Structure 1
């Protein structure tokens, strides 16, 4: 019976954590920490009293991470099992250590210590990758802010795929440079960028962090990164960006993926058909004009030929009249009295 009550208590605590509200006057300002292996998230209540419970949540949605109770012990969310440890250096110490950290651990953490008799006390911590600050729109996503859509994105490659087919989205490192880390991100229409994979060299070895909900990630030792999609779906469409961190700086490669129905026409194919249709229409127009001109000239020749054939006498008389007009005039004889003819 006790085990049932204990499990029930864990379940109820995880349900009410996202809606727990802490008094504003007892809330400490946020502290920024660097993302690193084994990092400690400090949560030490400055009061005196007896500990009732410690709870950790993350993000604006207050997703539960861990709960500690002096009597019932510790309960962890699934993605934090074997990764979180309560240090418990003092009675009202809720500090935890986080192992096997990834870029998914970047964000805002909230700690609440319930102490008797004064009540709850809370603090917040911001975990960031200080070696490479997160992009601006990633910060906006963490804070839950919404901003107008940015300017149109310039893409270096347009990918086309049909529904339910397989596709690989690949990014190749730059030649003649040393790549230390590559981050692949995706952005759907109307959504901010989010990380789907990270490949980096750590202690001479290759570390791959796969956060993709669709497909699988593969990394080469040259830090070439690929996303393998099986049975492509409409939600796979959007922008994909690879950011290479090298000894010469940061370099980006951006691609766009369009998914069309089988047998359907994608936007690029549609525009291709439009251009081909316009070119064909222009060519047909030129041919039609040439044919009209040739027919008109042939018609005039036929008319002239018929005139020559049907009215040859008229044409002959016309020529004789023309020749007569061109002959010089002849002196006419003068008739005198006595019927003698004399020429003047």
Structure 2
């Protein structure tokens, strides 16, 4: 029995070493950084733990209970903290002070919920020079707040697509929105903080994601990546801008005000021209023989001014 237990332990370690780590978010290392973990479900949170994932074990960083509160373990005490859970009960973001290269690695935000059980988000922290920079966007989409926005892309290559990945790119982090394995027709359930609808079916030639009821916080760069079993890949980047209602109202008021000022200017010019024509309806007098006589205009209100010849 002891030999069997030892063998299973060795097998577990071997699988941990060989298994490829999968993560939901990539964060660029910074002295003051945050590992975002927002649980979007309406389930009741019973307990939460933050771990740093090592090669063969998990190092407990912090633990939180809605009843008993939170505790940060050594050596992370005074270096990390959680938000006030009473103000944001679904936000379990972990904040770092004075982070260093020793903090590079994988982290797990592990939640125990009722009635659906556990929920986990894995975050990878990478060095600044290893953080991937997005390419310039291929397309720009503009939407009003509250609309349902659909982002689509299709590969130009004719090779069979094996996997499609959608990501949101920010200066400090990259979030995976959805992953579709076309060979199995299965998609990965995103740990992203907002609801995302996507398509995933075998032999599909294009892909899309739908973001219902967008807000200004949804603005940014989105990337879809196609990968084939042959090793070929193709990437598309698009920018989404969700306009701000206040900005739109200010723009409308600016345009309306400009139109009113232009109308007033036209009325003023028309009034001046009409007044000049009324004061001097016949600028010249002609004699009976057709000769033109000079006309002089008097200024009764300013008797000291000389007569002006027109």
TM-score by shorter chain over 0.5:
no
User: Normalized against structure 2, the TM-score is what?
Assistant: 0.43
Determine which structure has the larger helix proportion and give its number.
1
Tell me which structure has the larger Cα radius of gyration: 1
Flag the structure with more relative contact order, 1 or 2, with Cα contacts below 8 A and sequence separation at least 6. Answer: 2
